[in-house]
Structure 1
């Protein structure tokens, strides 16, 4: 087993610097189009940080600005306290893993990994030794003599990672590197990437549009939309405490319902649905009585009963069940055409409390799980 100290030798981080990357008021324009609108965020040393959002939200643009492949229109970018937005890409101690791997097809695996080291001035023997060490880390030592086309997609991905890690960059940038893999392999590579980040101690900045991927791998997540930062936090905060309607809807599944604030008691707010039913929930933003907001309730935070167990239970009728292996999603119609999706986890015996379509049920919302969003 290759030791972490051996893998990270030469990687010097100032003791008084806690952030690997500081993006300050960064803006990116292409003519009249603004791709990034005044982004400010900090990425910690030795952190697995994810930029998450739909296509066109600006996450790859920000990554390319950190790499030096895109100019910064306004603002500043610092790497371990050093301003870098005016440095060319080859002068920045960062490496990038691309979606298409970009391996040299005429070189074998060992040559692919050692090539960049030789370009940095390492002797052939030193480069080959280092390449061998990093191939052991990614569990590809036995494939050093093979050409990239003789490898599977997952193995090619690991070669690309090894090549990027070999020069011991201070920061590794990963631009949707798993998107070309099938689902099962992608899940396995998620765990491998997190393991690699911990083993090397290098800051990883990962770009993806896959919410599950971000939740699985990240220490912290920056959710982006339309060139703006929507929310920054760890996976639990992003999922359990979305800052706005976009985050609630984009991360996982949720029931989003327009409501009116009827009364307030501290942070607890009584809300009324369009069908006249009411529910007490937690308010994210300060909202006055009479104002309209959006209530978010995760499907797994509700349970179905045949009898009413709480005063705020909703009466409805089951219209559809969708079996998803680990759980069952049930669509319940309430009065005035209001719908709720409820997820019920399957038990150890594979039998969950599922009600047939047409059954009258009561929907019990878990206390504290309903969240009122102003926007």
Structure 2
């Protein structure tokens, strides 16, 4: 069913961006819903920040259209677009206290001193920085500076907030805490957030939906569960978390189900991604969905070649007869038997866990 255009905040319509002979974005189309926390995810250099800058107006597009609530904004300069951006570097004014930093943009927009100060107080309360209102940026931690930059961007009530890897400068523990704060602020304000990151965990934990991008091309859009459980292709499966990619021979596909021959000769039926075909293929199975068994009862059989202790989990690498390595993740709980190095072991997949992918 077609999506109600009234629910679309940002419509990226066949956008291409070229720098000379280099194509940074290749015919990208996606629709970001109003009040959504939407993430652009991909490795460094994939085009996600370029797309964000095109939305902001800092980059011109070569082809296509960008619509904000139905209006094409490609010809509008950045200062005329009802969007704000939080960058990796927060670019706070070092000589201004927190309140004046937040007020700066409001005063530039023509608000009175009193109105700007009142609004600054509201957003500082929202990001829990009221007690730091009189401090200079140098007197704040990295996480606090990040929240000042966020407050400054939120102050004018933008229709869309663009966030370009704003957590990358923070340490791991602080990043995890700020993720939750960002999610809560987005829900409280109802502003559409478009978040850029290369961190899969950030994307999975924060987003309503995720767009995975590689080499300037859109690979897949979906919820965190969609992307993780039902990847469309090898890149998405391999980029999002860990997965086993097992070479199989595909006899045929009927009504979305593929009949495959596994290494060792056993036959197996599983869901197939759209576009999958007969011949050589790749089966994707997450390590936590692989179970260990007696060799005689396994879909696959191999030899334990490596054991990695990770606290709650044990990663068990099993080398198959054809030399492929399959990883199983086993919980370190009471009663769980961990196989020994060199032991011959059987492998099975949880129901619905395996998926035939396209390249």
TM over 0.5: yes
Structure 1 residue 268: Cα displacement: 2.7
Match of 2:309 in 1: 323
What does the per-residue CA deviation read over 1:145-196, in whole Å, with 9 as the maximum and x for residues that have no partner?
1111111111111111001001100000000000111111111111111101
* C-alpha separation in 2, matches of 1:232 and 1:221: 6
Structure 1 residue 307: Cα displacement: 5.8
* C-alpha separation in 1, matches of 2:122 and 2:89: 24
* C-alpha separation in 1, matches of 2:15 and 2:275: 29
Contact 2:186 2:193 (C-alpha < 8 Å) held by counterparts: yes
* CA RMSD after TM alignment: 1.7
Counterpart check, 1:336 vs 2:322: yes
- The number of residues matched between the two structures is 356
Structure 1 residue 373: Cα displacement: 1.1
| 1:44-63 aligned within 5 A | 44-63=33-52
Structure 2 counterpart SS, 1:362 = strand
| 1:260-299 aligned within 5 A | 260-264=249-253, 266-285=255-274, 287-289=276-278, 291-299=279-287
* C-alpha separation in 1, matches of 2:324 and 2:264: 7
Distance 1:352 1:112, change over 3 A: farther
Moved more, 64-73 or 264-273: 264-273
Structure 1 residue 264: Cα displacement: 4.7
Match of 2:353 in 1: 369
Distance 1:297 1:88, change over 3 A: same
For normalisation by structure 1, the TM-score amounts to: 0.91
Distance 1:360 1:50, change over 3 A: same
What does the per-residue CA deviation read over 1:287-308, in whole Å, with 9 as the maximum and x for residues that have no partner?
554x111111110101113464
Gaps of 5+ in 1: 1-14
Match of 1:133 in 2: 122
Match of 1:102 in 2: 91
Gaps of 5+ in 2: none
Structure 1 residue 235: Cα displacement: 0.7
Match of 2:292 in 1: 304
Contact 2:5 2:70 (C-alpha < 8 Å) held by counterparts: no
Counterpart check, 1:170 vs 2:154: no
Structure 1 residue 221: Cα displacement: 0.5
> Aligned to 2:332, which of 346, 355, 360?
346
Distance 1:25 1:149, change over 3 A: same
For normalisation by structure 2, the TM-score amounts to: 0.95
Contact 2:264 2:300 (C-alpha < 8 Å) held by counterparts: no
Counterpart check, 1:27 vs 2:4: no
* C-alpha separation in 2, matches of 1:259 and 1:148: 57
